[in-house]
Amino acid sequence: MTFSIKNIISYIHAKPFGSFDDFIIENISIDSRSLQNNTGTLFFALKGQNHDGHHYIEQLIHKGVRYFVVESLPENCIGKAQFLIVENTTIALQETAKYYRNLFDFPVIGITGSNGKTIVKEWLNYLLSPDYSIVRSPKSYNSQVGVPLSVFGTNENHNLGIFEAGISLKGEMLHLESIIKPSIGVFTHIGTAHEDGFTNPEEKIIEKTQLFINCEVVILQKNDSIEKHIQATCFTWSFTDEKATVFGTIGEQKNGITNLLVTYNSHTFLIEIPFQDSIALNNVMTCVTTLLYLKVDTAIIANRVRNLYPVEIRLQAKKGINNCVLIDDSYSSDYQSLKIALDFLEQQKLHPKKTIILSDIFQGGLPIEKLYEKVALAIQNNKIDRIIAIGETISKYLSELPNVISFSSTNDFLKQFNTQSFQNETILIKGARSFNFDEIVVLLEEKKHETVLEINLDAITNNLNFYKSKLLPNTKVMVMVKAFGYGNGGFEIAKLLEHNTVDYLGVAFADEGIELRKAGIMLPIMVLNPENSSFNAMIAYDLEPEIYSITGLQAFLRLAQQKNINSYPIHIKLDTGMHRLGFEETEIDTLILLLKNNNFVKVKSVFSHLAASDNTDFNDFTQKQFDRFKRCSEKLISELAIKPIRHILNTSGIFNYANEMQLEMVRLGIGLYGVGNSKTENENLQNVSTLKSVISQIRVVNEGESIGYSRKFMVNEEIKVATIPIGYADGIRRAWGNEKGYVMINNQKATILGNICMDMLMVNVSSINCLSGDEVIIFGQKPTVNEIATTTHTIAYEILTGISQRVKRVFYKN
Ligand SMILES: *Cc1c(COP(=O)(O)O)cnc(C)c1O
Average pLDDT for 73-101: 94
Atom 13 of ligand 1, nearest CA residue: 609
pLDDT for the residue numbered 320: 84
Given 482, 573, 692, 813, the catalytic residue = 482
Residue 720: phi and psi, rounded to 5, are -105, 130
pLDDT at residue 449 is higher than 60:
no
Residues 93 and 45: beta-carbon distance below 8 Å: no
pLDDT in tens, 140-161: 889 999 999 999 999 888 999 9
Q: What is the C-alpha separation between 197 and 203, in angstroms, rounded?
A: 10
Query: pLDDT band at residue 641, thresholds of 50, 70 and 90?
Result: very high
Ligand 1 atom nearest to 613, measured from its CA:
7
Q: What is the C-alpha separation between 316 and 773, in angstroms, rounded?
A: 21
Residues 314 and 812: beta-carbon distance below 8 Å: yes
* Residue 441 in contact with ligand 1 by CB distance below 6 A: no
Q: What is the C-alpha separation between 464 and 460, in angstroms, rounded?
A: 6
* Residue 650 in contact with ligand 1 by CB distance below 6 A: yes
Residues 6+ apart with CB under 8 A from 145: 30, 46, 90, 93
* Residue 672 in contact with ligand 1 by CB distance below 6 A: no
* Residue 669 in contact with ligand 1 by CB distance below 6 A: yes
Indicate the range of 268-272, 501-505, 621-625, 809-813 predicted with least confidence. 809-813
* Residue 430 in contact with ligand 1 by CB distance below 6 A: no
Domain with CATH 3.20.20.10 in the chain: 456-683
The rounded Cα 805 to chain-centroid distance in angstroms is: 21
Query: pLDDT band at residue 34, thresholds of 50, 70 and 90?
Result: confident
Ligand 1 atom nearest to 654, measured from its CA:
9
**Which residue type occupies 549?**
S
Domain with CATH 2.40.37.10 in the chain: 689-813
Could you give the dihedral angle defined by the CA atoms of residues 604, 606, 611 and 613, in that order, rounded to the nearest 10 degrees?
Answer: -80
Beta-strand (E) ranges in 24-81?
Answer: 24-25, 27-29, 41-44, 67-70
Ligand 1 atom nearest to 486, measured from its CA:
8
Binding site per annotation, positions for substrate: 580, 758
Q: At what angle do helices 298-305 and 278-293 cross, to 10 degrees?
A: 150
* Ligand 1 centroid distance, CA of 319 (Å): 29
Ligand 1 atom nearest to 797, measured from its CA:
8
* Residue 238 in contact with ligand 1 by CB distance below 6 A: no
Residues 247 and 240: beta-carbon distance below 8 Å: no
Ligand 1 atom nearest to 651, measured from its CA:
9
Within 18-109, residue ranges assigned H as helices are 57-62, 89-101
Q: With 0-12 CB in 10 A as exposed, 13-18 as middle and 19+ as buried, what is 436?
A: middle
Query: pLDDT band at residue 702, thresholds of 50, 70 and 90?
Result: very high
Domain with CATH 3.40.1390.10 in the chain: 3-94
* Ligand 1 centroid distance, CA of 480 (Å): 6
Q: What is the C-alpha separation between 682 and 659, in angstroms, rounded?
A: 19
Based on the residue annotation, tell me whether 293 is a catalytic residue of this protein: no
Helix (H, G, I), strand (E, B) or coil at 84: strand
The rounded radius of gyration (Å) of the Cα atoms in the chain is 29
Within 294-401, residue ranges assigned H as helices are 298-305, 335-348, 368-381, 392-398
Q: Which residue from 103, 124, 187, 178 is spatially nearest to 147, judged by alpha carbons?
A: 178
pLDDT at residue 54 is higher than 90:
yes
Domain with CATH 3.90.190.20 in the chain: 315-445
Q: At what angle do helices 490-499 and 510-518 cross, to 10 degrees?
A: 60
Query: pLDDT band at residue 364, thresholds of 50, 70 and 90?
Result: low
Homologous superfamily (CATH) of 689-813 is Lyase, Ornithine Decarboxylase; Chain A, domain 1 (2.40.37.10)
* Ligand 1 centroid distance, CA of 786 (Å): 17
pLDDT in tens, 224-233: 999 999 999 9
Instruction: HSE, CB side, 13 Å, CA atoms: give it for residue 52.
Output: 8
pLDDT at residue 537 is higher than 70:
yes
Compute the mean pLDDT over every residue in the chain, rounded to the nearest whole number: 92
pLDDT in tens, 97-131: 999 999 999 999 999 998 889 999 999 999 998 89
pLDDT in tens, 157-201: 899 999 999 998 889 999 999 999 999 999 998 776 666 678 888
Residues 6+ apart with CB under 8 A from 252: 258, 259
Atom 6 of ligand 1, nearest CA residue: 669
Residues 515 and 490: beta-carbon distance below 8 Å: yes
* Residue 608 in contact with ligand 1 by CB distance below 6 A: no
Beta bridge partners of 706: 714
Q: What is the C-alpha separation between 559 and 540, in angstroms, rounded?
A: 12
The rounded Cα 695 to chain-centroid distance in angstroms is: 26
Mutate to test the pocket of ligand 1, among 477, 486, 650, 677 (most ligand atoms within 8 A of CB): 650
Query: pLDDT band at residue 409, thresholds of 50, 70 and 90?
Result: very high
Q: What is the C-alpha separation between 393 and 456, in angstroms, rounded?
A: 37
Please count the residues of the chain.
814
Average pLDDT for 760-776: 90
Percent of the residues in the chain that have a pLDDT greater than 90, as a whole number = 70
* Residue 318 in contact with ligand 1 by CB distance below 6 A: no
Mutate to test the pocket of ligand 1, among 493, 502, 609 (most ligand atoms within 8 A of CB): 609
* Ligand 1 centroid distance, CA of 669 (Å): 5
pLDDT for the residue numbered 256: 78
% helix, strand, coil for the chain, step of 5: 35, 25, 40
Residues 543 and 561: beta-carbon distance below 8 Å: no
Binding site per annotation, positions: 580, 758
pLDDT for the residue numbered 573: 98
* Residue 667 in contact with ligand 1 by CB distance below 6 A: yes
Helix (H, G, I), strand (E, B) or coil at 187: strand
pLDDT for the residue numbered 715: 95
pLDDT for the residue numbered 193: 61
**Which residue type occupies 193?**
A
* Residue 670 in contact with ligand 1 by CB distance below 6 A: yes
Q: What is the C-alpha separation between 329 and 812, in angstroms, rounded?
A: 13
Based on the residue annotation, tell me whether 482 is a catalytic residue of this protein: yes
Q: Which residue from 284, 330, 314, 312 is spatially nearest to 442, judged by alpha carbons?
A: 330
Helix count (H) and strand count (E) of the chain?
Answer: 27, 41
Fold exhibited by the domain 104-305: UDP-N-acetylmuramoyl-L-alanine:D-glutamate ligase (3.40.1190)
- Other beta carbons less than 10 A from residue 556's beta carbon: 22
Residues 737 and 788: beta-carbon distance below 8 Å: no
* Ligand 1 centroid distance, CA of 804 (Å): 21
* Ligand 1 centroid distance, CA of 667 (Å): 6
Average pLDDT for 240-247: 95
pLDDT at residue 304 is higher than 60:
yes
* Ligand 1 centroid distance, CA of 675 (Å): 13
The rounded Cα 545 to chain-centroid distance in angstroms is: 32
pLDDT at residue 513 is higher than 90:
yes
Average pLDDT for 737-741: 97
* Residue 332 in contact with ligand 1 by CB distance below 6 A: no
pLDDT in tens, 157-166: 899 999 999 9
Taken in order 385, 391, 392, 394, the sign of the CA dihedral is: negative
Within 236-363, residue ranges assigned H as helices are 278-293, 298-305, 335-348
pLDDT for the residue numbered 16: 93
pLDDT at residue 571 is higher than 90:
yes
* Residue 813 in contact with ligand 1 by CB distance below 6 A: no
Residues 319 and 309: beta-carbon distance below 8 Å: no
pLDDT at residue 447 is higher than 70:
no
* Residue 573 in contact with ligand 1 by CB distance below 6 A: no
* Ligand 1 centroid distance, CA of 650 (Å): 5
Q: Which residue from 375, 377, 350 is spatially nearest to 430, judged by alpha carbons?
A: 375
Instruction: HSE, CB side, 13 Å, CA atoms: give it for residue 492.
Output: 25
User: So what CATH class is 456-683?
Assistant: alpha beta
* Ligand 1 centroid distance, CA of 509 (Å): 14
Given 309, 383, 596, 709, the catalytic residue = 709
- State how far the alpha carbon of 421 is from the alpha carbons of 361, 386, 408, in Å: 25, 11, 19
The domain at 315-445 falls in which architecture?
Alpha-Beta Complex (3.90)
pLDDT for the residue numbered 615: 93
Ligand 1 atom nearest to 478, measured from its CA:
10
Q: What is the C-alpha separation between 805 and 45, in angstroms, rounded?
A: 39
Instruction: HSE, CB side, 13 Å, CA atoms: give it for residue 29.
Output: 27
Average pLDDT for 582-609: 95
Average pLDDT for 337-364: 84
**Structural element, H or E, at residue 568:** strand 568-573
Helix (H, G, I), strand (E, B) or coil at 599: coil
Residues 155 and 188: beta-carbon distance below 8 Å: no
pLDDT at residue 448 is higher than 70:
no
pLDDT for the residue numbered 810: 84
Ligand 1 atom nearest to 667, measured from its CA:
10
* CATH match for 3-94 among 3.40.50.300, 3.30.70.2740, 3.30.70.1140, 3.40.1390.10: 3.40.1390.10
* Residue 649 in contact with ligand 1 by CB distance below 6 A: no
Ligand 1 atom nearest to 546, measured from its CA:
13
Residues 471 and 658: beta-carbon distance below 8 Å: yes
Longest Cα pair distance anywhere in the chain, in angstroms?
95
* Ligand 1 centroid distance, CA of 668 (Å): 7
